[in-house]
Amino acid sequence: MNPDPRRRLHDTIVRLPRAEELRPREVEEPARRRPRQIFTPQFILLYGFIGLIAVGSILLALPVSDAAGRSTSPIVALFTATSAVTVTGHTAVSTAQHWSYFGQAVIFVLMLVGGLGFMAAATFVLLLIGQKSASISHRLVLRESMGEDHLGGLLQIVRIIVIVVFMIYVLGAIILLPSIQDITGFGLVESMWQSIFLSVSSFNNAGFSILPEISDARSLAILDNQWLIQSAMAVLIILGCIGWTVLVDVNRRKRFSRFSLDTKLVLIGSVALWILGFGAYLLASYLSQENQNDISLFSRSGEALFHSISGRTAGFIIADFGAAEDFTKLVFTFLMLIGGGAGSVAGGIKVNTLMVVVAAVISSIRARPQTEAFGREIPQTQVFRALAVGALALAFIMITVPLLTITEAASLRSGEIHFLDLFFDTVSAFSTNGSSTGIVPQLGTTGQLIFIGAMLIGRIGPLTLALALAPKEKFLYRFAQERVRIG
């Protein structure tokens, strides 16, 4: 019997929600604490470099840093400190003659810390006193500066790197010591100081030297035909500019076929650039109108090889780049802009960036839908990042050089400074190379300040850009495709 007379058998009751139940519910979520933009990894790195430059500038401006006991001009002190921290090697005054032992020691410490990387050195100090860097932002900066893809094991990597690097410093100084003592005639203590300074400067690709200078435009003219010293310096420069991860990969896997794609690209790119620099320098040497017939082929080849290695990343000069042919300056301007490997002490846009762009061009010519190299596909995000780094570097130079032509217009009109020399030294400053045609002391205060900015931006710019371009979130949508005419 149906208990409800109003309801038929098999009827279904449908209950509609009430009006208040249809309203959206409001749930308060506690506000997330977001870090201030001034404390991002990029700014932390910038603050570290600026702080180090400030301390170095103050110390170098003191009378105790001057060999004559006088106070150094603040702009010269700032320029030298920036050049040392960014391991550039540009100098407004003679490093060997202007600075006292105290001043040279300040430059030594600045280029030592700047070469290893401020964050890597700071982390190592924290490890020594029993602390650990747990900050994720700190580790992100370390990851980019050391060229690693993963956050795990970074502290162990930093510890090993610093220990191995100091061993290389000592070994390089031991090899350089007998030859330096022989050519300079210094005592043992002075020769040891010269050797360790040159060893650190070579490995860090800093370009600073306190060896006795000869009164011409060549900063290392005293090393003419000193093949042992040049060979030791070349090896140290290569070890410093090739990149930490490349050295580790080569040591672990031994064979080229087993290397990672990154290692293969860096090695092939570096060798190709060294051959290009060697060939260009040697060709220009023979075609020069001031060609000296008494110089043997061996001597010319040795000089060309040293400048090909040093001229791209370190900036040590045995020949006079101010008197070099325009062809040589243009080729080495390109080489300096490329610089060394990622995660190394060298500057520039990096060999890795160049090789990714080259791989993209070759893949495009072969009508491949993606960028490929050695049987591996390079992610499209990395191709875009490489293009961005290269394009922004060129844009910075295109802005800086015309600006310098305005500030140094009087010197350009009088012929004291040539445009190609100005262009060469500007790229050298931005790529933290240090090779110079000798125009830096002739620059005005504004020009030297622009060079200071170029050195600082060139040192931290690629790293900051890499952090800025790092993917922060995944987009769940894509826009519709539309073709654009090319060619």
Reported as a single tens digit per residue, the pLDDT across 259-304 is 889 899 999 999 999 999 999 988 888 777 555 556 777 788 888 8
Between 11-25, 197-211, 245-259, 355-369, the lowest mean confidence (pLDDT) is in 11-25
Percent of the chain exceeding pLDDT 70 equals 75
Note whether 459 and 432 are within 8 A (CB). yes
User: Which strand (E) or helix (H) includes residue 215?
Assistant: none
- Best mean pLDDT range from 19-28, 189-198, 465-474: 189-198
User: What letter does residue 378 receive in the DSSP assignment?
Assistant: P
Q: Which has the higher per-residue pLDDT, 298 or 60?
A: 60
Task: Please give the pLDDT value at position 163.
Answer: 84
DSSP codes of every residue in 58-95: HHHHSGGGBTTS-PPPHHHHHHHHHHHHTT----SS-H
The mean of the pLDDT values for the chain is: 81
Task: Please give the pLDDT value at position 125.
Answer: 47
Q: Which has the higher per-residue pLDDT, 442 or 25?
A: 442
Q: Which of 343, 350, 301, 339 is nearest to 434 (CA)?
A: 339
Determine if residue 135 is left, alpha or beta; phi over 0 gives left, psi from -120 to 50 gives alpha, anything else beta.
Answer: beta
Q: Is the pLDDT of residue 380 over 60?
A: yes
Between 5-9, 105-109, 387-391, 424-428, the lowest mean confidence (pLDDT) is in 5-9
Residue-wise pLDDT for 333-362, tens only, equals 999 999 888 878 888 888 999 999 999 999
- Tell me the pLDDT band of 135, cut-offs 50, 70 and 90: low
Task: Please give the pLDDT value at position 126.
Answer: 46
Task: Please give the pLDDT value at position 133.
Answer: 46
Task: Please give the pLDDT value at position 476.
Answer: 66
- Best mean pLDDT range from 51-65, 114-128, 402-416: 51-65
Whole-angstrom distance, CA of residue 386 vs CA of residue 351: 10
Q: Which of 91, 118, 121, 120 is nearest to 103 (CA)?
A: 91
- Tell me the pLDDT band of 196, cut-offs 50, 70 and 90: very high
Task: Please give the pLDDT value at position 30.
Answer: 60
Q: Which has the higher per-residue pLDDT, 269 or 140?
A: 269
Note whether 41 and 138 are within 8 A (CB). yes
Q: Which of 432, 443, 438 is nearest to 408 (CA)?
A: 443
- Tell me the pLDDT band of 216, cut-offs 50, 70 and 90: very low
Mean pLDDT across 371-395: 88
- Tell me the pLDDT band of 194, cut-offs 50, 70 and 90: very high
Residue-wise pLDDT for 228-245, tens only, equals 899 999 999 999 888 877
237 Cβ contact list (under 8 Å, min separation 6): 202, 203, 205, 309, 310, 313, 314, 316
Task: Please give the pLDDT value at position 26.
Answer: 66
Task: Please give the pLDDT value at position 471.
Answer: 53
User: What letter does residue 394 receive in the DSSP assignment?
Assistant: H
Task: Please give the pLDDT value at position 427.
Answer: 93
Q: Is the pLDDT of residue 325 over 50?
A: yes
- Best mean pLDDT range from 6-15, 91-100, 155-164: 91-100
Whole-angstrom distance, CA of residue 467 vs CA of residue 464: 5
Mean pLDDT across 420-432: 91
